[in-house]
Amino acid sequence: MKSNSKQKEDTVRINDAIRAKEVRLISEDGGLIGIVNIREALDIAEKRDLDLVEISPNANPPVCKIIDYGKYNYEQQKREKINKKKQHIITVKEIRFRPHTDTHDIETKVRKIREFVEEGDRVKISVMFRGREMAHQEMGHDTLNKVISLLQDVVKIDKAPKQEGRFLTAYLAAKK
Domains of the chain: 12-82 (3.10.20.80), 92-174 (3.30.110.10)
pTM comes to 0.53
- The strand pair at 167-174 and 155-164 is best described as antiparallel
Give the integer Cα–Cα distance in Å for 160 and 19: 60
Can you point out the beta strands (E) in 51-107? 51-56, 63-67, 92-97
- What is the predicted pLDDT for the residue at 10? 58
Give the integer Cα–Cα distance in Å for 91 and 123: 8
Sign of CA dihedral 123, 129, 133, 134: positive
pLDDT 10s digits, 9-18:
457 888 888 8
- What is the predicted pLDDT for the residue at 93? 93
pLDDT 10s digits, 88-110:
777 899 999 999 999 999 999 99
Say if CB 47 and CB 84 are below 8 A apart: no
Give the integer Cα–Cα distance in Å for 176 and 163: 27
- The strand pair at 122-128 and 92-97 is best described as parallel
- What is the predicted pLDDT for the residue at 90? 79
Closest by alpha carbon to 23, among 47, 6, 8, 43? 43
